[in-house]
């Protein structure tokens, strides 16, 4: 998928997680994830790792925007730290 297509999964990981990009522009990306029972922690709510993964992906997409179709950019997260309290 290129960044000019919306509402589609982007990779096998996104498909596994049920993530879709629903809005993408320079400096902003909004993703959605249909929460399934497999996404729950032992307390029955969304596992923090699901939320952190979505945060990581949204941040990457926001920084990877390019207004020119066909130009692909990529990124790797080197460090991501989060404390759930």
Give the CATH number of the domain where residue 59 resides. 3.10.129.10
Residue 5 lies inside a defined structural domain of this protein = no
Overall number of domains in the chain: 1
Please, which residues have CB within 8 angstroms of residue 69's CB and are 6 or more apart in sequence? Answer: 2, 4
Residue 69 lies inside a defined structural domain of this protein = no
Task: Read off the pLDDT of residues 64-85 as tens digits, 9 standing for 90 and up.
Answer: 888 888 888 888 999 999 998 8
pTM beyond 0.85: no
d(CA 82, CA 85): 10
d(CA 85, CA 64): 30
Residue 20 lies inside a defined structural domain of this protein = yes
Range of the domain at 26: 12-64
Task: Read off the pLDDT of residues 1-35 as tens digits, 9 standing for 90 and up.
Answer: 444 455 555 789 888 999 999 999 999 999 999 99
Cα distances (Å, whole numbers) of residue 49 to 3, 21, 24, 78: 25, 18, 22, 16
């Amino acid at each position: 998928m290129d960044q000019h297509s919306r509402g589609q999964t982007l990779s096998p990981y996104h498909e596994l997680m049920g993530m879709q990009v629903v809005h993408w522009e320079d400096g902003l990306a909004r993703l959605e994830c249909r929460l399934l029972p497999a996404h729950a922690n032992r307390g029955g709510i969304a596992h923090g790792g699901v939320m952190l993964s979505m945060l990581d992906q949204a941040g990457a997409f926001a920084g990877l925007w390019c207004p020119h179709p066909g130009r692909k950019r990529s990124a790797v997260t080197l460090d991501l730290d989060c404390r759930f309290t």
